[in-house]
Structure 1
Amino acid sequence: MRIINKFGGQIEGQLAHLPDGARRQIERITTEALTRAVTVAGHGRHAPDFGPRGAPALAAFTGAMGGAGGLVTALAELPVTITVILHAILRAAEAEGFDTSLPEVRAEALRVLLAGGPMDYDDGINTSFIGARIALSGPALQKLLAKIAPKFAAVLSQKLAAQAVPVLGAVTGAALNAAFLTHYRELAHIRFGLLRLTVLHGAEPVRMAFEKELTALTITK
């Protein structure tokens, strides 16, 4: 992030130069990619497991390829990045003991994307999800995607703006993709770890204990 800020200028300035058509295209691509990814999410256990280091490396590789040609290739690479990130989230859910073939687990995986990206500086964690459940029927899926896609597309726009920086697109694309995947995978471990604890102890005790720890961390900072 320091390299991007030093050589690429402020991300907000880059975002201002993204044409409106590109912004709409990012949201459309995000919605379509999430829809396809969640459709095949139930087959996650049969997909290759690249391990804790392999997944960020794969994300970095796709980011480098996407950033090499600026915004055009970055847009083409976006569906691959989204799929890789969602796959990493589902792997985290499996590691916490959840069955990713269940619709409610796939819904929770999608909702991890609402937490914001690694380029956002608000490190607050919303605990309102603890104990929440959603049935991923057709209408419910569309409603959930309609809520997630615009917010996630806005986060991805920051990444694409940085990749559009001349010369450094491949470098920033690789670094950002690895950062994004690591960020969302860690959030998924937190989210599904807390959900696992709610099964054992109930939602309210877990919420209270977690918020107590967050308060202690905030005071320490």
Structure 2
Amino acid sequence: MIEGPQDTPVDVDAELDKLAKRYRQAGGVGLQILNLVGDSAEGLLKRLPKNIRSRLDQTTEAALTSAMRAAHGSRRYVTDQPDWVNRVVTTSMGAAGGFGGLPSAMAELPVTTTILLRTIQGVATEYGFDPDSDGVQFDCIRVFAAAGPLAQDDGTDLAFLTTRVAVSGPAVHGMIAKVAPRLATVLGQKLAAQTVPVLGAVAGALTNYAYTSYYQEMAHVHFGLRKLAIEADIPHAELVSDLQARVAKPRIRRS
């Protein structure tokens, strides 16, 4: 775990501006996906067969649980990769998953979830946190509670940064159960996009690129705030409130 506060003064405003920029950019590819598939984020879920929709929560919770085991086990053999490498890998997998329609997209889902979690763990390490600790495992799962790249977000969806419970092994599993229903909606949209006739492979590649980019950026925001709170010795909740105000602030367009 990183130590703090640091001797070198931290430019809190500059760091918060950087994190706000990351937050705004996180879902930038989402609109391209919706334009490609010709539907809204809500409408995508209706494309899935009813039996798949009814099992999304259960499927997602199982995928997260297996991803947690696989991601941690893989750390002994595979080092953390740069953000762009993770995007290339998941983009290729999304194309393969979309090419075969719903069956291949369902098979690809837990593998992509594992890589996304490894990506989040890698970001945690980048900021000096130990992904083997229960607290950081908890935080890595909590990143998945963000709205998702297809959501219309004005900066109000920052609750995933502030939820606090007692941190222990059981709490991590409790967080998986809590996050799963929300993530199920997000992953359901991903599955539906990958099953678009003819465009499945393209939509799958673009969707996985968007999802990987999104959760990478959310992880940077989350762990960046955690680190800033320690280094600047400022309450985490105060930094989240300040970040929310910056994200919601209208941006001035240059003519």
TM-score, scaled relative to structure 1: 0.88
Residue 29 of structure 1 is aligned with which of 59, 81, 93? Answer: 59
Partners of 1:5 and 1:127 in 2: how far apart?
25
Residue 10 of structure 1 is aligned with which of 16, 36, 39? Answer: 39
Q: How big is the shift at 1:43?
A: 4.5
Task: Please say which of residues 116-125 and 105-114 is displaced more in the overlay.
Answer: 116-125
User: Structure 1 residues 91 and 123 mapped into 2: Cα distance closer, same or farther (>3 Å)?
Assistant: farther
Q: How big is the shift at 1:143?
A: 2.2
State the partner residue of 1:54: 85
Q: Describe how 1:63-212 pairs up with structure 2 within 5 A.
A: 63-124=94-155, 125-126=157-158, 129-130=161-162, 132=164, 134-138=166-170, 140-200=171-231, 201-203=233-235, 204-212=237-245
> SS state of the match for residue 57, structure 2?
helix
User: Structure 1 residues 3 and 132 mapped into 2: Cα distance closer, same or farther (>3 Å)?
Assistant: closer
Partners of 2:117 and 2:130 in 1: how far apart?
15
Partners of 1:175 and 1:128 in 2: how far apart?
25
Q: How big is the shift at 1:44?
A: 5.8
Deviations 1:5-60 (A, max 9, x none): 44522144442232221113332221112112223444564323332211000000
User: Structure 1 residues 186 and 23 mapped into 2: Cα distance closer, same or farther (>3 Å)?
Assistant: same
Partners of 1:128 and 1:84 in 2: how far apart?
20
Alpha-carbon contact 2:63-2:113 (below 8 Å) kept: yes
Partners of 2:98 and 2:240 in 1: how far apart?
41
User: Structure 1 residues 102 and 15 mapped into 2: Cα distance closer, same or farther (>3 Å)?
Assistant: same
User: Structure 1 residues 107 and 7 mapped into 2: Cα distance closer, same or farther (>3 Å)?
Assistant: closer
Q: How big is the shift at 1:142?
A: 3.2
1:213 aligns with 2:242: no
One-letter amino acid of the structure 1 residue matched with residue 100 of structure 2 = G
Q: Sequence identity of aligned pairs in percent?
A: 36
Bigger RCO of structures 1 and 2 (CA < 8 A, at least 6 apart): 2
User: Structure 1 residues 42 and 80 mapped into 2: Cα distance closer, same or farther (>3 Å)?
Assistant: closer
Q: How big is the shift at 1:162?
A: 1.0
User: Structure 1 residues 199 and 44 mapped into 2: Cα distance closer, same or farther (>3 Å)?
Assistant: farther
Alpha-carbon contact 1:29-1:78 (below 8 Å) kept: no
Partners of 1:208 and 1:14 in 2: how far apart?
32
User: Structure 1 residues 63 and 52 mapped into 2: Cα distance closer, same or farther (>3 Å)?
Assistant: same
User: Structure 1 residues 91 and 158 mapped into 2: Cα distance closer, same or farther (>3 Å)?
Assistant: same
Alpha-carbon contact 1:41-1:106 (below 8 Å) kept: no
Deviations 1:50-86 (A, max 9, x none): 3221100000011011101111111111001111111
User: Structure 1 residues 131 and 69 mapped into 2: Cα distance closer, same or farther (>3 Å)?
Assistant: closer
One-letter amino acid of the structure 1 residue matched with residue 246 of structure 2 = E
